Amino acid sequence: DQLIAWHWGRKDHPRVTLIGKGVSFDSGGLDIKSARGMRLMKKDMGGAAHAAGVASAIMKLDLPVRLQVLIPAVENAISGNAYRPGDVLTSRSGKTIEVEDTDAEGRLILCDAISRAVEDDPDLIIDFATLTGAARVALGTEVPAFFTNDATVAQDLMAASSSVDDPVWQLPLHKSYRQLLDSDIADISNCSSSGYAGAITAALFLDEFVPDAIRWLHFDVMSWNTRERAGRPRGGEAMGLRAVVEFLQRRYA
- Closest of 186, 154, 10 to residue 87, by C-alpha: 186
Give the CA-trace dihedral at 172, 174, 178, 180, to 10 degrees.
-80
Question: Which residues, in sequence order, are bridge partners of residue 218?
Answer: 127, 147
95 part of the active site: no
Q: Do residues 67 and 19 lie in contact, with contact meaning Cβ atoms separated by under 8 Å?
A: no
The widest CA-to-CA distance across the chain, in whole angstroms, is: 51
Catalytic choice (21, 43, 66, 107):
107
Q: Do residues 210 and 125 lie in contact, with contact meaning Cβ atoms separated by under 8 Å?
A: yes
60 part of the active site: no
* Alpha carbon distance 71, 224 (integer Å): 19
* Alpha carbon distance 151, 86 (integer Å): 36
Catalytic choice (33, 42, 95, 178):
33
Q: Do residues 22 and 1 lie in contact, with contact meaning Cβ atoms separated by under 8 Å?
A: no
Which residues have a catalytic role annotated? 33, 107
